Amino acid sequence: MSIHVTVLGCGSATPTSFRNPSSQWLDIQGEHYLIDCGEGTQTQLLKFKLRMSKLKAIFISHLHGDHFFGLPGLISSMHLMGRKEKLQIYGPEGLFPILDSIFHCSQTELRFHLEYFVVDTFKSYVLLETPKFEVISIPLKHRIPCSGFLFREKPKPRNLRPELMKFYNVPIYARKKIKQGNDFTSSSGEVIQNSKLTLDPARSVSYAYCSDTAPDESIIPIIDSATALYHEATFEDNLIDRAEQTFHSTASQAASQAKLANVEKLYLGHFSSRYRDTKTIENQACAIFPNTSNVHDGFTFDVM
Ligand SMILES: [Zn+2]
């Protein structure tokens, strides 16, 4: 499985001429999801030729405006464009009364069903499950309730060792269970351990989105060994006090999280509008976790 990510916005707080507020588009083998929906997300979708009609679900991390003020507009446009299919929205408590109120006051009767899922931002659990992958919440440490999201491919079946299938005369019908990790009992009653019959499967792909948050070690087990981590790095290292006051992270703090979690790749975003050039943030992070890249609006990457 691979996850193709398009960054639609990676700025914090207020939009600038060079950076939109947070939003990311995920293409998981033809299924499309949105994480966060800051103001202007619609125009970014148009700019990068991504079709809003394809979206199956939208995940909102928290209720600061730079992460969801684009959502009512996006839903409204889907309505005007004749969407019929239901749309799933995952977000913190408080989001859904806001949306209902907006559509009520504007006398907008949506032509499609909004299926709401309130995310408990204080625990980690499975929000969405498909045959191939699941989405798990990541409780983040921010000024208001906030959740990150881990997109994780389900474990792949174990690989059978053909020579041992032959040696133990394992019938075809028994092989599926062995691939799932079960032991095998031969016709003579001998139990052969699964570890002897199989090899480890290829690793599963995972992508963790952690924004907004102060550095928090309690999430390390959840994002452990992720294929890629997107972590906010709102400030350069010299503004560590400001980061602490506002429950954000500096470049080095984000990189330390990546190192602790032993992820393969770190992407940084959610940059303060005071930085037009974010090279210093990337350099500071690379000193701790070398496999780091800053993103920018329109930046794409594959998690695979
Ligand atoms: Zn925030």
Contact call for residues 139 and 121 (beta carbons, < 8 A): yes
- Longest alpha-carbon distance in the chain: 74
CA 269 to ligand 1 centroid distance, Å:
13
CA 57 to ligand 1 centroid distance, Å:
21
Query: Which is the catalytic residue, given 36, 66, 212, 297?
Result: 66
Amino acid at 207: Y
Q: Measure the CA–CA gap between 294 and 282, rounded to whole angstroms.
A: 6
Q: What was the pLDDT predicted at 143? A: 97
Mean pLDDT of the chain: 97
- pLDDT level of residue 23 (50, 70, 90 thresholds): very high
Average pLDDT over residues 125-129: 98
CATH 3.60.15.10 assigned to domain 3-156+202-303? The reply is: yes
Q: Measure the CA–CA gap between 38 and 35, rounded to whole angstroms.
A: 10
CB-count burial class (<10 Å; 0-12, 13-18, 19+) for 44? buried
Task: Determine the distance from the C-alpha atom of residue 283 to the mean position of all C-alpha atoms in its chain, rounded to a whole number.
Answer: 24
Q: Inform me whether the pLDDT recorded for 83 exceeds 90.
A: yes
Q: What was the pLDDT predicted at 15? A: 87
CA 138 to ligand 1 centroid distance, Å:
15
Q: What was the pLDDT predicted at 134? A: 97
CA 186 to ligand 1 centroid distance, Å:
58
Average pLDDT over residues 155-164: 94
Q: Inform me whether the pLDDT recorded for 248 exceeds 90.
A: yes
* Domain residue extents for the chain: 3-156+202-303, 159-199
Q: Is 66 a catalytic residue?
A: yes
Write down the pTM of the prediction: 0.92
Average pLDDT over residues 128-142: 97
CA 111 to ligand 1 centroid distance, Å:
31
CA 143 to ligand 1 centroid distance, Å:
7
CA 244 to ligand 1 centroid distance, Å:
13
CA 63 to ligand 1 centroid distance, Å:
7
- pLDDT level of residue 264 (50, 70, 90 thresholds): very high
Q: What was the pLDDT predicted at 162? A: 96
Q: What is the pLDDT of residues 190-241, one digit of tens each?
A: 999 999 999 999 889 999 999 999 999 999 999 999 999 999 999 999 999 9
